[in-house]
Amino acid sequence: MQNSPDPALPLLEVRGISKSFGAVRALQEVDFTLRAGEIHALLGENGAGKSTLIKVVTGVFPRDAGIVRIGGEEVAPRSAKAALAAGIATVYQEVNLLPNLSVAQNLFLDRQPMRFGIVREGEMRRRAKALLAEFGLDIDVAAPLGSYSVAVQHVTAIARAVDLSARVLILDEPTASLDRHEVEILFGIMRQLARRGIGIAFVSHFLDQVYEISDRITVLRNGRLVGERETASLPRLELIRLMLGRELAETTSARASVGEHKVREVCASFENYGKAGYVAPFNLELRHGEVVGLAGLLGSGRTETARLVFGAERADGGKARVEGAPVRLQSPRDGVRHGFGYCPEERKTDGIVAELTVRENIVLALQAKRGLHRPLSRREQDEIARRYVKMLDIRPPDAERPVGLLSGGNQQKVLLARWLATSPRLLVLDEPTRGIDVGAHAEIIRLIRELCDDGLSLLVISSELDEIVTYSDRVVVLRDRAHVEELAGEAVDVGNILAAIAADGAGVAHEGRA
Amino acid sequence: MRGLPPALITAIVLVAGFAACAVQFPNIASTRVVGNLLTDNAFLGIVAAGMTFVIISGGIDLSVGSVIGFTTVFVALAIERWGMPPLVAFVAVLALSAAFGAAMGAVIHVFDLPPFIVTLAGMFLARGASFLLSTESIPITAPIYSTVSDFALRLPGGGRLTAIAIIMLAIVTGGALLLHLTRFGANVYALGGSRTTASLMGVAVGKMTVKIYMLSSLLAGIAGIVFSFYTSAGYSLSAVGVELDTIAAVVIGGTLLTGGQGSVIGTFLGVLIQGLIQTYINFDGTLSSWWTKIATGILLFAFIALQQGLVALARRPLAKSAGAAT
Ligand SMILES: Nc1ncnc2c1ncn2[C@@H]1O[C@H](COP(=O)(O)OP(=O)(O)OP(=O)(O)O)[C@@H](O)[C@H]1O
Ligand SMILES: [Mg+2]
């Protein structure tokens, strides 16, 4: 393992891999080559087969055909443990850690420092602290992992994989729930590892990040390899064409129609609304046909605001009104009753029911809203499912497939469809485009605009400032669990948002690229 | 640390219950009664220690009562009829029960079957096998039995700490160390968190499953031997329903039935609570012994409600600390 690798020799060679799930051909004769010391992006639309390729290579799924070589030697791992023994460390897309164990146990599971057959708890904690410090995280490593935010859990998963000091490191959408600051730290570590000769493969839907960090790019489409290029010589539009197999209609980044339509009546308003220790009291007015963006760093109170608005969390002060009439929002049920919808950030724990089919997942909220004594007929369900599968381009377009078998991005679309199906008057979207590919991303942004033109009121949380600027009429900026600024009209731009986030010098370190 | 807060509650309940009993019957607060309580519940403490591992790992083992029954019959027959030296008989029966547990674990893992079903089948199998061996109660007269029964450490105040109580205390201590201090123990919690995730993190889930059920059956075998010392007999109908008492002790001890959290110490306290209720009823003299079951049932309800409450509480701060932690 120590001998310096010959750069000409590929570190990880994947040849002719095929994999079918029943009738679905998820991978067909895919090749993939990773050299020592390179950072290699694996790209493709939702459902292209990226995660499947990773799982087949690391032995989580058995493969139908093909070979894998590491350093010229053929390997056929049959479990993640065997893959690790062969030199591949992986962070899978579904952040895979154990919430019931302490952070330290998660980092060192199955490789704890031992003495006389006994785990050296103190030593393990010390090492865990040191390891997380490299990622800029200073937390109590003896606390259960589940008591921390998704971002912390994600960093922990990455830190674990990095520390396994394998020859190959695979990261499936590692940056999906990280903020800019954490992404910078991760990239710093990735570069450092690459310099040490480790080959890194990573999946991401953030093309900016791909261009920032990767040396080469491999693109998959519909389970087939469509190309492998040097990042430097692959223009962005060409990359998108490779991924989608068509040109992307120019929809993004133009703040075109925003602000042009006339402002309509107030849909919901909140006055001095807040909860002690959760979010400071705020005033918020949401109008029909308007998108309000919530911007701020992770932990600034964005999700908390959304949960209060929806009723998932009880306010301890202030007034809420819907269409002018005072209402009480004590539970998500109240929210649904008043025509609110909420698409949470954590689709796996808060939303998707993996065993149910796409159709059942889509009609879930609508059925709950109608009440159990008025069941939707199967015809109606089929009709609704068909409409949204088409509208959001859910793939494969099979409404009877269990959602758990869909790719991560397509699960996200199903969740969005569930709330759209209830025809809400106010829809709260927490990171709606996370894990969604460029094509669908543009679709969703277009959809957001269209919905607004139909009079829907939207409250959208996003860490992508470019994106939030694209569709928001107004942007509320949060910092330290308080609403600190509201930008409207011409003032809505990335620079102003960043300035508001970083005011007082707080978070200057987080600034980064816009 | 893990699992201790619920176990702490169990400890408080035990101390409070003991104090209340002692107020009514001052004699209860004597080393004699406490010594007897440990002796009477020695076999239960031993199986419950094994069951704790199984339940924390997200499984269940319904076969333990039958394994105890089988062990007593096998040991009695081997010593009395087949003329085996007692120690050889013990080793043989422990090897058998360990293999039995390993086989159940392998079936659970390889065929991906629910542990409930597999161990239910195991329960019928082991009970059936003991009936095949013999349907009558076989007294054991080997000298080692009287030696062991007579052996006891004298406690101040006239109490006796018998050999089987000592075995139980040793196993509980060993079990606690195994669970909390070793890699094996950490993997047990990992399996209880999520089998898929544990396997993606590199835990050898199959091997672990086999080992955990093997441990449980092995401890049931030891409990069976202890039970045969306790009754000086082997009987195919002994320890019927003990699996349920065991599960109750584990749950009252603060182990989550869904897995992932718990402790052997808590289970030990759960066993003592059940023993205390039994002792109280014996002292009272007018109550039917079935009140033990009723009291256990009520306690179980209380503890499950309490756990749900704790779980809900544990979720709440999560939302709060969600951002603050970053
Ligand atoms: N366990 C499974 N059973 C059946 N089909 C599956 C399974 N896992 C994945 N698939 C299918 O295989 C295809 C590829 O999925 P995969 O998860 O690899 O996509 P992906 O490229 O990672 O997408 P995303 O960017 O959305 O994560 C999809 O059509 C998906 O529905
Ligand atoms: Mg994926």
pLDDT at B187: 93
> Considering CB atoms only, which of A101, A151, A304 is closest to B189?
A101
Q: In sequence order, which residues have a C-beta less than 8 Å from that of residue A50 and are 6 or more positions away?
A: A42, A43, A44, A172, A203, A220
| Secondary structure element (H or E) that encloses residue A485, with its range | strand A482-488
Alpha helices, DSSP H, located in B28-162: 31-40, 42-56, 64-80, 86-110, 115-133, 143-150
| Structure token digits, residue A455 | 């009079």
Three-state DSSP at B222 gives helix
* pLDDT of B185 over the 90 cut: yes
Determine contact: B49 vs chain A, CB below 8 A: no
List per-residue pLDDT tens for chain A, 514 residues long. 444 445 557 888 889 899 988 878 888 899 999 998 899 999 988 888 899 999 999 888 888 888 888 888 888 888 888 888 888 888 888 767 888 888 999 999 888 888 888 888 888 999 999 988 887 778 888 888 888 877 788 888 888 888 887 788 999 888 877 777 778 888 888 898 888 888 999 998 888 888 999 999 999 988 889 888 888 888 888 888 888 776 555 444 445 444 455 567 888 888 888 887 788 888 888 888 888 999 887 667 888 888 888 888 888 888 888 888 888 888 888 888 888 888 877 655 567 777 888 898 888 888 877 777 788 888 888 888 898 888 888 878 888 888 888 887 788 888 888 888 888 888 888 887 777 777 777 777 777 777 777 788 889 888 777 788 888 888 998 887 888 888 888 888 888 888 887 765 443 333 333 3
Least confident of A435-444, B48-57, B313-322: B313-322
Spatial separation of the C-alpha atoms in residues A149 and A164, rounded to whole Å:
23
**Residue B34 Cα, gap to closest chain A Cα (Å):** 32
* Identity at A485, one-letter amino acid code: E
* pLDDT of B322 over the 50 cut: no
Determine contact: A84 vs chain B, CB below 8 A: yes
Least confident of A377-391, B24-38, B249-263, B307-321: B307-321
Q: What is the layout of strands, in order, in the sheet containing A65-70?
A: A24-35, A10-21, A65-70, A73-75
Determine contact: B57 vs chain A, CB below 8 A: no
Structural domains of chain B sorted by starting position, each given as residue range(s) with its CATH number in brackets: 4-311 (1.10.3470)
pLDDT band at B318 (very low <50, low <70, confident <90, very high): very low
Instruction: Give the number of beta-carbon pairs within 8 Å between A and B.
Output: 117
* In contact, B28 and B21? CB cutoff 8 Å: yes
- Mean pLDDT of chain B, nearest integer: 87
Chain B residue numbers touching A277 (CB-CB < 8 A): 320
Determine contact: B325 vs chain A, CB below 8 A: yes
**Residue B312 Cα, gap to closest chain A Cα (Å):** 12
pLDDT band at B321 (very low <50, low <70, confident <90, very high): very low
Strands (E) in A304-422, as ranges, are 317-322, 325-327, 340-343
The mean pLDDT of B87-99, rounded to a whole number, is: 95
Chain A residue numbers touching B260 (CB-CB < 8 A): 98, 100
Strands (E) in A76-155, as ranges, are 88-91, 114-115, 118-119
Residues touching ligand 1 (Cβ under 6 Å) are A 21, 24, 26, 44, 46-52, 93, 396, 405-410, 437
pLDDT at A510: 37
* In contact, A514 and A495? CB cutoff 8 Å: yes
* pLDDT of B207 over the 90 cut: yes
Distance from the Cα of residue A371 to its chain's centroid: 32
Angle at A32 between CA A27 and CA A37, to 5 degrees: 150
* pLDDT of B129 over the 90 cut: yes
Residue B87 vs residue B321, higher pLDDT:
B87
* In contact, B268 and B48? CB cutoff 8 Å: yes
Residue closest via CA to ligand 1's atom 3 equals A405
pLDDT at A253: 45
| Secondary structure element (H or E) that encloses residue B187, with its range | helix B183-193
pLDDT at A352: 75
Interface confidence: ipTM more than 0.85 = no
pLDDT at A153: 83
Spatial separation of the C-alpha atoms in residues B255 and B274, rounded to whole Å:
16
What b/e sequence results for A372-384 when a residue is b if at least 16 CB atoms lie within 10 Å of its CB, and e otherwise? eeeeeeeeebeeb
Structural domains of chain A sorted by starting position, each given as residue range(s) with its CATH number in brackets: 10-248 (3.40.50.300), 249-339+425-514 (3.40.50.300), 347-423 (no CATH)
Where do we find the tokens 């718990």? B262
> Considering CB atoms only, which of B2, B204, B320 is closest to A278?
B320
pTM of the predicted structure, to 2 decimals: 0.75
CA torsion, points A428, A434, A438, A443, in degrees to nearest 10?
A: -20
Please identify among residues 29-48 of chain B the ones whose CB lies closer than 8 Å to any CB of chain A. none
- A93 alpha carbon to ligand 2 midpoint, in Å? 6
Distance from the Cα of residue B231 to its chain's centroid: 18
Give the environment of ion ligand 2: residues with CB less than 5 A.
A 51, 93, 407-408
Give Cα separations from B47 to A328, B53, B57, B62, B300 (angstroms).
53, 10, 16, 11, 18
pLDDT at A248: 57
- DSSP letters for A247-310: PPPS-TT---STTTSPP--EEEEEEEEEETTTEEEEEEEEETT-EEEEE--TTSSHHHHHHHHH
CA torsion, points A78, A84, A86, A91, in degrees to nearest 10?
A: 90
Spatial separation of the C-alpha atoms in residues B218 and B212, rounded to whole Å:
10
pLDDT at A252: 45
Residue A180 vs residue B228, higher pLDDT:
B228
- A353 alpha carbon to ligand 2 midpoint, in Å? 18
Phi and psi angles of residue A322, each rounded to the nearest 5 degrees, phi first: -120, 125
Phi and psi angles of residue A364, each rounded to the nearest 5 degrees, phi first: -50, -55
CA torsion, points B290, B292, B294, B300, in degrees to nearest 10?
A: -150
Determine contact: A92 vs chain B, CB below 8 A: yes
Q: Number of helices (H) and strands (E), helices first, in chain A?
A: 17, 22
> Considering CB atoms only, which of B193, B199, B260 is closest to A79?
B199
3-class SS string, A301-336: CHHHHHHHHHCCCCCCEEEEEECCEEECCCCHHHHH
Give Cα separations from A339 to A31, A370, A396, A419 (angstroms).
49, 12, 30, 10
Determine contact: B320 vs chain A, CB below 8 A: yes
pLDDT at B225: 94
Spatial separation of the C-alpha atoms in residues B271 and B7, rounded to whole Å:
12
Three-state DSSP at A445 gives helix
Listed residue (A33, A16, A18) closest to A71, CA to CA? A33
* In contact, A463 and A510? CB cutoff 8 Å: no
Determine contact: A32 vs chain B, CB below 8 A: no
pLDDT at B165: 93
Spatial separation of the C-alpha atoms in residues A137 and B140, rounded to whole Å:
64
Three-state DSSP at B158 gives coil
Please identify among residues 107-126 of chain A the ones whose CB lies closer than 8 Å to any CB of chain B. 109-110, 112, 114, 117-119, 121
Substitution target in A92, A93, A100 with the highest count of B β-carbons within 10 Å is A100
The sign of the CA dihedral B105, B110, B111, B112 is positive
| Secondary structure element (H or E) that encloses residue A126, with its range | helix A121-134
B197 to chain A: closest CA residue = A96
Listed residue (B33, B309, B190, B14) closest to A145, CA to CA? B190
pLDDT at A185: 83
* In contact, A351 and A343? CB cutoff 8 Å: yes
Listed residue (B110, B33, B45, B102) closest to B253, CA to CA? B45
Listed residue (A362, A376, A302, A368) closest to A335, CA to CA? A368
| Secondary structure element (H or E) that encloses residue A33, with its range | strand A24-35
* pLDDT of B166 over the 90 cut: yes
pLDDT at B2: 43
**Residue B301 Cα, gap to closest chain A Cα (Å):** 23
